[in-house]
Amino acid sequence: MPSSEVAQALADLGAAVATSRTDRAIDAAIRAHRAGTDPLELIRSAARAGALHFDPAQGKAPTGMVALSAAANLRDVLDPGLRVLPALQAIALAASEKKAPRPARPPLVVSGEVTHLGRSFLFAARDGNLPEAEAIFLGILEERKERRMAGDMLFRAAAEDMGDGGKKLVVAVKLWQLARVLGFQEARTILRPAVQYLAAGPRDSSAYRTILAVLGKGWVDLEALASGGRPLDEAGRAQVALCLAAPDDAGCAAETLALLRDGYAATAVAEALSMEASKRILGAESHDPAARLVLALAHAARFVLTFTRTSEKLYGLFQAAIRLRSEAADLSLPGAPGGRNEEDTLHRLSDDLEARRPGEAASLTRAYLARGFAPDRLLNVLADHASRNSAIANGLPDLVIADGCAAEFMATKAPEPLVALAKAIAASPRDRTAYETWKGLVAP
């Protein structure tokens, strides 16, 4: 296909996403793919159109853009011939969402001293002042450059507000990751929906006020607690369990603070929370949207800890702990002996994922990792199956959970995230209609 025809296919893709025409968006994406277009360029075209036509008046999260971010991240764990699958699923979701009839007008962009602008952005976000929050944040942000001060302010504002179950922090992190993988080209366009959703979406600062009250009573030096520290030991893991069993949010925040004051590293606590979030999925009897969101939030909070240089990065950690607060999960799984070898185990796992046998899929994944088989092959199989199920039919799509679990596994090397991912995929409502029409696109 000539370059002009590829450009036209990408333009058609953007126009279809902007006007919520899913079939046309997929047709255009397939045309561009068959001409050799990198799936990342499909994601770029869809993300730009989705961002320009995002409608903050609906008060809903830009889940399609979160899925596009996950699809871009999953490229690193999928074989090249499979990378188009998550892109197509994410494009379908992005195109299915209701859009504003006209693209957003270019925002006013405020310039000035960055520290002062950062404080002003926080005040605007807290007040729900969308025009002011946009103008200030987009003034801090730079095109084609990852300006960390902007990320610091965005993540702090999102960590203060647990409206919509904590999705605001998830959206902020995933759209930042999307802008990063796209080289921060048109970063103001890509990140604008995160600010719009932050300011205009459902609001809930009650947990943040509880955290501030706990910190204030203890005369806490956040700066000292935000850096350094030691890994968790047995006593620390027992303290995490105590924290999550606290009777109320204040008690949970106080126990989290006690962990940090005892000298445990914030990153170690965050990793423990990610493991606990994985266990919530393992302990669920069936598809559990709330457990999936908590896992995504725990992943986002750990990302903020590794990204942000300010002491306020701890707010996300406290919020994740509070959202995880519940009775301990039942982790009993049915016995599922591994296959004769690595290949056979992966084949059996694929069968269990296809047949929607959650317990067996989780047990086989655990057995695979316990036998020391190659984790990259397992990641490829799980990400492939996560990309087969409809993103539209699934709330927080499987491919978003796959992105978070893969990142947590690569950071911690603990088996729980991938075991939880296998169970989450197998427990999802099955809808493979779209995949059946696309599967001929992937390399054999």
**pLDDT tens for residues 88-126?**
999 999 999 999 999 988 878 888 888 889 899 999 999
Q: Say what the pLDDT of residue 2 is.
A: 63
Q: Is the pLDDT of residue 180 over 70?
A: yes
Helices (H), 55-113: 63-73, 84-96
Q: What is the mean pLDDT of the chain?
A: 92
Strand partners of residue 264: 230
Please write the tens of the pLDDT for every residue from 263-283: 999 999 999 999 999 999 998
Q: Environment class of residue 239 by beta-carbon count within 10 Å: exposed (0-12), middle (13-18) or buried (19+)?
A: buried
Query: Confidence band (pLDDT; 50, 70, 90) for 228?
Result: confident
Q: What mean pLDDT is predicted for residues 125-147?
A: 92
Q: How far apart are CA 319 and CA 298, in angstroms?
A: 9
**How confident is the model over 372-385, as pLDDT tens digits?**
999 999 999 999 99
Mean pLDDT of all residues in 70-87: 96
Percent of the chain with pLDDT over 70: 95
How much is the pTM?
0.95
254-257: long-range pairs with CB below 8 Å, 24+ = 254/214, 255/321, 256/317, 256/318, 256/321, 257/214, 257/215, 257/218, 257/220, 257/225, 257/318
Helical (H) or strand (E) element with 134? helix 130-140
Instruction: Name the more confident of 125 and 331.
Output: 125
d(CA 190, CA 47): 7
Q: Look at residue 436 in the predicted model and tell me its pLDDT.
A: 87
Give pLDDT, residue 309.
86
Q: What is the predicted pLDDT for the residue at 444?
A: 47
Separation of alpha carbons 319 and 424, rounded Å: 23
CATH number for the domain formed by residue range(s) 342-441? 1.20.272
pLDDT at 367: 92
- Give the pLDDT score at 112: 80
Report the distance separating Cα 389 and Cα 378, nearest Å.
Answer: 18
